Amino acid sequence: MAVVLWMSDKNPSHKFEEDVKWSPHKYSLPLLTYGFVEAVGEHSEKPVLFLLIFKIDPSSAEQSNQASPILHIMVTINTTPSTVLASLSYFSPPTDGSKPRLYNFTPPEGVPAMNYDLVKHTVPIENVRGKEDTLSLDTSGFQFVKHTSAHKAFNDDAEIKKDYYPESIELLKKLTGASKVVLFNHTLRRRRGQGDNGYSGPKKRGAATSVHVDQTPLAAHNRVRLHLSEDEAAERLKRRFQIINLWRPISHPALDWPLAVCDYRSVNLKEDLVPVDLVYPDRVGETFNVKYNPEHKWKYLQGITPEEVILQVVHGSVAVFTPHAAFEDPTTPEGSPFRESIEVDQGSGFL
C-alpha cells in the first residue's frame, strides 16, 4: 500500500471519527494520537484520500520544552495493492522415477494426460503497473509493451495469420533489432467457466496454470530446424537468437486468471528446472516444469488490456527463459468476464 504524506499547520474542516492507533516508526515521527475521516471515492481505481491528525509526542528530545503541536496530514493511499498472495501450481515428480511426460492432445484411452503431479504454493505476486519500464527482455526475461493491434476479431486462423502475424513480426523487429523474425504458431485461450483451464480444441485452450517454461534449449534448437531450411538453420544457430512469446488479452482486460511471469534472475538454473516430454501426435517436444523455490520473484500487470502485450523469453542467450503461469487474482472484481488471450511464438535471428 503506497502512502504519501502532505503536512499542514491549518485545521481541516472535516469531522474526524474516533482515534485509531498507527505505527509511528514508519514515518520517523514520535506520535501519540491520530484520527481519520472516511475515504473519498473508496471504490474508485484512483488513489483514495484520507485526512489524518497526528499529535507529536512531547517527551521526544526535540519537543521536551515545547507545547505538543498538532500536525494535520493528508494521506494518499493507493487502493490497488502492490503485491497479492496467490496460489501457483509447481512440479512434483512422478512416483515411479520415470521422465515426466505431458500429452498436448487427448491421450490414448487409459493413459493419463501427465504422469507427474502439481503442488500448489502460495506466493507473493507483485503488480508492476507504473514500473513497467524497469523490466526488459535482457534483464528480467520479460517486458511489458504498449501496442494496439489492427486485428480485433481473433476468431479465424486464416485472418489471424494474414493480419496479426505481420504486425507481430514488425513489433518484435522494432523492439529487438532482429534481422529476421519467423513466427512459428499461435494459441488462443478462452476460459469458459470455473475449472475450465484444460483444452477446448487444438488452438482454443483454457489458461495454463502450472509453472512452466515453453521450451528447453534442446527443443528451441529443434524448433528452429523445424521452421527453417537445413542450411539457414545451421547458419542462424551459430549466432545469437531468441524465441520470444508475445502474449496479449483480446476483447477486454485480463482481470480473470491473468498471466504471472517470474524474474529470470530469481531462478536457480541447477535446481529449479525439470525437463518434461511434450507429446504431440507426430513428434515429441520438451518443456521445463519448475520446482517450488521461495526465492522466485513473480510479477504481473493488473488489468492488462488488449493495448498492452507481454513479451517473454522462451529461449535466449542473455536472459535464458521466463517461467510463467496463469493465476487466480484475489483482487479480481466479482463478475469480471472470463479471460481471452492470444499468444504467438516467434524466433528472432540477430546479426
Read off the DSSP letter of residue 320: -
Residue 266 is which amino acid?
A: S
Whole-angstrom Cα distance, residue 91 to residue 272?
9
Residue pair 243/217 in contact (Cβ under 8 Å)? The answer is no
Q: What's the pLDDT score for residue 346?
A: 74
Residue 321 near residue 315, CB atoms below 8 Å = yes
For residue 120, what pLDDT is reported? Answer: 97
Euclidean distance between CA atoms 294 and 83, whole angstroms: 15
Strand partners, 146: 308
Give CA separation, 129 vs 149, 305, 318, in Å.
21, 12, 25
The amino acid sitting at 121 is H
Integer Cα distance of 256 and 193 in angstroms: 10
Going residue by residue through the chain, which has 351 residues, state the pLDDT in tens, using 9 for 90 and above.
333 333 333 344 433 333 333 333 333 333 333 333 333 333 333 333 344 444 444 454 444 444 444 444 444 344 455 899 999 999 999 999 999 999 999 999 999 999 999 999 999 999 999 999 999 999 999 999 999 999 988 988 999 999 999 999 999 999 988 888 988 889 998 876 554 443 333 344 567 899 999 999 999 999 889 888 999 889 888 888 889 999 999 989 999 999 999 999 999 999 999 999 999 999 999 999 999 999 999 999 999 999 999 999 999 877 789 999 999 999 999 889 999 999 998 776 543
- This prediction's pTM: 0.74
Confidence at residue 153, expressed as pLDDT on a 0 to 100 scale: 86
CA angle 161, 164, 166 (to 5 degrees): 85
Which residues partner with 226 through β-bridges?
A: none
Of 261, 254, 258, 246, which Cα lies nearest the Cα of 149? 246
Strand partners, 288: 213, 275
CA 161 to chain centre: 26
What pLDDT is attached to residue 13?
40
Beta strands in 40-179 (DSSP E): 48-56, 70-77, 83-92, 101-103, 117-127, 142-146
pLDDT tens for residues 163-218? Answer: 999 999 999 999 988 888 988 889 998 876 554 443 333 344 567 899 999 999 99
Per-residue pLDDT, 6: 37
In this structure, what C-alpha cell is assigned to residue 76?
Answer: 494518499
pLDDT at 238: 85
Burial of 36: CB neighbours in 10 Å, binned 0-12, 13-18, 19+: middle
DSSP helix, strand, coil percent of the chain (3-state; round to 5): 15, 35, 50
**Per-residue model confidence (pLDDT) at position 22:** 35
